[in-house]
Amino acid sequence: MGAALSITGTVASQATLPGGLHLLTVAAGELARLAGPGQFAMLRCSAGWDPYLRRALPFLRLANGAVSFLFVANDPGLAWLAGRSLGEPVSLLGPLGRGFVLYPGTRHLLLIAGGATVSPLLALAERALAAQASVSLVTTAQALGQWAAIVPEAVEVIVEGPDLPWDRLGALLRWADQAAVAGLEADLRRLAGLSEGLRPGRVQCYAGAHLACGLGWCGSCLIEARRGPRRACTSGPVFDLTELI
């Protein structure tokens, strides 16, 4: 991971999706070039110093000299961000964190969207499709209803019931060349317990931890890993599934 950039981009587009989701695209060419799926940026969410802390948002898209984010405006800072108009400036710090690795031999990529943001998975999907890999996405009907409009058409979508059947997903992981999962820490650990014997690198997980400072200073995003607590903002937010067993 290289040094993060502190840049000011401009709003290229802004849209609202079902379920109160906001889609924000910011023109930021250098950041789009350097960032990867699973990494995130810290966005300033005010014109002054209130709220003081930036907000950590994972990248949804990285293309055409712009970066996109998907979020719910559930606090004053994110509400301010959702209200930005075309051409207005947005201050970003990134790319930050450890993202997904798409291996050269991957022909079949499986994505599992649990109770965390889908953004890093869709960013990885676009990277895999560009590499001529096939992509399948497992999610729930409720989640798909919120962001179906932004799923690439080439992605095969497998819809489950109101909840993901974590007990059955362990078998699916062995079908794909590579898998990526976004979920809550408890669900990731449950999946890890069903996936013994998988080699490192086969399944990567985006941990849905709260990233407060984004720089490893505050320690609020600690994840319990095999080798002890790890900061999700610097050691992750993407972890190998074997690290969580």
Given a cut of 70, is residue 181 above it in pLDDT? yes
Question: What is the arithmetic mean of pLDDT over 213-228?
Answer: 84
In a domain, residue 78? The reply is yes
Domain co-membership, 90 together with 122: no
Domain co-membership, 57 together with 140: no
Confidence of residue 194 (pLDDT cuts 50, 70, 90): low
Given a cut of 60, is residue 234 above it in pLDDT? yes
Domain total in the chain: 2
pTM of the predicted model as reported, rounded to 2 decimal places: 0.92
Confidence of residue 180 (pLDDT cuts 50, 70, 90): very high
Q: What is the C-alpha separation between 166 and 161, in angstroms, rounded?
A: 12
In a domain, residue 9? The reply is yes
Q: For the segment 58-72, what is each residue's pLDDT rounded down to a tens digit?
A: 999 999 999 999 999
Q: What is the C-alpha separation between 187 and 173, in angstroms, rounded?
A: 15
Domain co-membership, 21 together with 117: no
Give me the CATH number covering residue 163.
3.40.50
Domain co-membership, 44 together with 79: yes
Q: For the segment 3-45, what is each residue's pLDDT rounded down to a tens digit?
A: 789 999 999 999 998 888 999 999 999 999 999 999 999 999 9
Give me the CATH number covering residue 36.
2.40.30.10
Judge contact between 113 and 30, C-beta under 8 A: no
Domain co-membership, 236 together with 174: yes
Q: Which residues, at least 6 apart from 95, have a Cβ–Cβ distance to it below 8 Å? A: 1, 4, 5, 31, 34, 35, 36, 39, 40, 41, 59
Domain span at 113: 108-244
